[in-house]
A and B are shown apart, each in its own frame.
Chain A
């Protein structure tokens, strides 16, 4: 398994494992209290982002240590093609999310609703990009 594929697996799993519970937590609190306090929201979001940062940092460090000799670290034409395809789809999802967040939601949503929708759009775009990267390596890709 190449580095990009491994990293995509880890990143997609981390996003689902960390942001999944975050969104469930936010939904439950919102349903119970109608509007969660600022401190509660910012703490939950900060905890999720810090956890994701730690996983990303640790996996990058582990990959660097495992591939110290430089093999399999330089992307070749296949890696670049897979990256191009997955990031293109990811970009369209992200831009759709940002249009909703920036052009539609400000008229009828509260501040944290907009923030959480933006985070959700970023997460969906990232997970889709990672899964398409994995699919590209697993099932092959054609020009």
Chain B
């Protein structure tokens, strides 16, 4: 199995999206603020559905938000 880690640019894209807060992104996506924080810190890999919702809320494609590092 691959040892590659999934990384994301949620934090950067949030600030580019008019400094969107973790709380408002969480509300839009349907998860808690703590889950958004955990995703940003790489402590939790979201489900595919949530990953698509996050990308959609940030106005980006999935691969712009999540990628292998």
Chain A residues within CB distance 8 Å of chain B? 2, 72, 74, 76-79, 137, 139-143
Q: How many residues of chain B have a CB within 8 Å of chain A?
A: 15
- Does B42 sit at the interface, judged by CB under 8 A? yes
- Which candidate, B7-15, B31-39, B58-66, is the interface stretch facing chain A? B31-39
Asked whether, in the complex, the Cβ of B31 is within 8 Å of the Cβ of A140, the reply is no
Q: Say whether A77 contacts B46, CB under 8 Å.
A: yes
Instruction: Give the contacting residue for A77; candidates B33, B35, B41; CB below 8 A.
Output: B35
Chain A residues whose CB sits within 8 angstroms of the CB of B35 once the complex forms: 76-79
CB distance from B45 to the nearest CB of A (A): 5
List of B residues within 8 angstroms of A72 by Cβ: 32-34
Docked CA distance A105–B58 (Å): 59
Question: In the complex, what distance in Å separates the CA atom of A76 from the CA atom of B32?
Answer: 7
Contact B30 A78 (CB under 8 A): no
Contacts A72-B33, A78-B31 supplied; 18 other A-B pairs, CB < 8 Å: A2-B32, A72-B34, A76-B30, A76-B31, A76-B35, A77-B31, A77-B35, A77-B46, A77-B47, A78-B35, A78-B46, A140-B38, A140-B41, A141-B43, A141-B44, A142-B44, A143-B45, A143-B47
Does B21 touch A at the CB level, under 8 Å?
Answer: no
Q: Report how far A141 CA is from B38 CA in the complex, Å.
A: 9
9 A–B pairs (Cβ distance < 8 Å), ordered by A: A2-B32, A76-B35, A77-B46, A78-B46, A79-B35, A140-B38, A140-B42, A140-B44, A143-B45
- Is B50 an interface position by the 8 A CB rule? yes
Contact B31 A142 (CB under 8 A): no
Known contacts A76-B30, A77-B31: A142-B45 contact under CB 8 Å:
yes
CB distance from A80 to the nearest CB of B (A): 10
Interface-central residue, B33, B35, B44, by most chain A CB under 10 Å: B44
